[in-house]
Amino acid sequence: MASIIESGWLYLITHFSDFQLASLGSFFLHESVFFLSGLPFIYLERAGLLSKYKIQTKNNTPAAQEKCITRLLLYHFGVNLPLMIASYPVFRFMGMKSSLPLPSWKVVLSQIIFYFILEDFVFYWGHRILHTKWLYKHVHSVHHEYATPFGLTSEYAHPAEILFLGFATIVGPAITGPHLITLWLWMVLRVLETVEAHCGYHFPWSLSNFLPVYGGADFHDYHHRLLYTKSGNYSSTFVYMDWIFGTDKGYRKLKALKHDGVEDDGKQT
């Protein structure tokens, strides 16, 4: 398996420059993973499939979904792509490389874990700041236009927010100067995580059912349903930051009430 990956990587680095791979390649990979993972949830919502796993009963209109896709393409090509191009010299300066040999799985795993922990910490505080009155009204309210989120709404945001919270995603790699393949893996996992958190469905196979520290769709969907002053659940991936600082109390109370309700129904039957 490792030899196959190395052969594929050798093809890439011999046919494309570092700049092409790090900027244009990263953009192409991001767009592919984002839309391929996010678009199916639009189909599920329109077709009414797997509706028993849908967190909210309300559905978005086709017009609202199409508006989201149109804005996303505008933001991605107008903000994300230029940002990826502009950040290339910074990552090169910090030590990013694309040459062989590829890093060991231990190095990749340790860096990815570090990125998730650091991103969640930075995102939590940045997200809380965006829920202050002025910033919410003028910036973050764009993201909250969709009170019933679906996968693609994960990146539907004001351009200023894209830059502001995007820092949380790139700060880890900027510090460590990883191999490009590690950066790509981090980007893929982060995209899949945020799409899942906004998908609007809580499945039996959802990661949050097996990993209690992971937030997932149910955790973040609560954040979108409530008024910005009462929402809480500010973390991106994990739940411990909200637990430590008490910003998940409303969510935990609701979960407890639902749990008690289920238990009461069970006793009555």
For residue range 100-137, what is the model confidence (pLDDT) as tens digits? 999 999 999 999 999 999 999 999 999 999 999 999 99
Q: What is the pLDDT of residue 266?
A: 36
Per-residue tokens: 163: 């830059």
| Residue 170: pLDDT over 90 | yes
* Average pLDDT of span 29-42: 98
Q: 265 lies in a domain? A: no
Question: 87-102, pLDDT tens digit by residue?
Answer: 999 899 989 999 999 9
Phi-psi region of 37 (alpha: psi -120 to 50; beta: other; left: phi over 0): alpha
Q: Is the pLDDT at 240 greater than 90, yes or no?
A: yes
10 inside domain: yes
In a domain, 199, yes or no: yes
Q: How many of the other CB atoms lie within 10 Å of CB of 92? A: 15
| Separation of alpha carbons 141 and 228, rounded Å | 9
pLDDT tens digit sequence for 190-210: 999 999 999 999 999 999 999
- Helices and strands of the chain, counted as H and E runs: 12, 0
Q: Which domain holds residue 249?
A: 4-260
In a domain, 23, yes or no: yes
Q: How far is residue 148 CA from its own chain's centroid?
A: 16
Greater confidence (259 vs 56) lies with: 56
pLDDT bucket at 261, cuts 50 / 70 / 90: low
**Across residues 46-69, what is the average pLDDT?**
96
Please state, in angstroms and rounded to a whole number, the distance separating the CA atoms of residues 262 and 173.
44
Is residue 182's pLDDT more than 50? yes
In a domain, 30, yes or no: yes
Q: What is the DSSP string of 220-263?
A: HHHHHHS-TTT-----SSBSHHHHHTTTTHHHHHHHHHHHHHHH
Q: Which of 34-48, 141-155, 204-218, 252-266 has the lowest mean pLDDT?
A: 252-266
Task: Determine the pLDDT at residue 230.
Answer: 75
* Mean pLDDT value across the chain: 93
> Does 267 reside within a domain?
no
**pLDDT at residue 224 above 80?**
yes
User: How many domains would you assign to the chain?
Assistant: 1
Residue 268 has pLDDT above 60, yes or no: no
What is the CA 90 to chain-centroid distance, rounded? 23
Residue 266 located in a structural domain:
no
Residue 88 lies in a domain: yes
Which tokens sit at 263?
A: 């238990």
